[in-house]
Structure 1
Amino acid sequence: MLEFIIVLIVVGAIAGFIARLLLPGRDPMGVVATIVVGIVGSFIGGFLGYLLFGKDSGEGALQSSGIIGSIVGAIIVLLILRATRRSGAMV
């Protein structure tokens, strides 16, 4: 269980960092917020991957498709955060 949490945090940090690199613009958030964006993005990416391709986590924890899905999910989360901040809504 501890290994899973560590992997989740590391993959979340990488996915959040890459998402922030791929999306131009300024995001006033720290390292912890970037990790949270990545972790939430990992769940969203995994869910979308399951819906679209029928992928299951039973095939292994670290796969290239899972990491790419995590990055795509983190980009979606980051775009949602930007949209809510621009509209003046509180997150």
Structure 2
Amino acid sequence: MLSAILWALIGGTIIGLLGKWVAPGDRDNIPLWLTIVCGIGGILIGNFLYTIFFKADTNGIDWWRHVWQVAVAAVLVMVAAGATGRSKT
């Protein structure tokens, strides 16, 4: 259980930061904790959507699954940036 939470935080951080990097426009105005939450959401929702449209069991690293996760995280980062409305000033 603890290892699953740890991997969710590590994966959420990586996917969230990649999603923030891929998101169009200026998305640096959301805090790190919200980026991690968007990354965890990207992992969960991206996996769900990927398994709906594609074969879920592959051998080795499934790079397309990660592309879907980053894309969903980028959308979540854009939504979070719009919803929080933090300004840089």
Asked if 2 retains the 8 angstrom alpha-carbon contact of 1:11 and 1:67, the reply is no
Q: Check 1:85–1:31 CA distance in 2 against 1; reply closer, same or farther (3 A cut).
A: closer
1:89 corresponds in structure 2 to none
Percent identity of paired positions between Structure 1 and Structure 2: 25
2:47 corresponds in structure 1 to 46
Tell me, which stretches of 5 or more residues in structure 1 are unaligned?
A: 87-91
RMSD over equivalenced CA pairs, Å: 2.4
2:17 corresponds in structure 1 to 17
| 1:32 equivalenced with 2:30 (yes/no) | no
Q: Compare 71-80 and 2-11 and name the one that shifted more.
A: 71-80
Higher relative contact order (Cα pairs below 8 Å, separated by 6+ residues) = 2
What is the distance in 2 between the residues matched to 1:26 and 1:73? 15
TM-score between the two structures when normalised by the length of structure 1: 0.72
Q: CA deviation at 1:80?
A: 2.9
TM-score between the two structures when normalised by the length of structure 2: 0.73
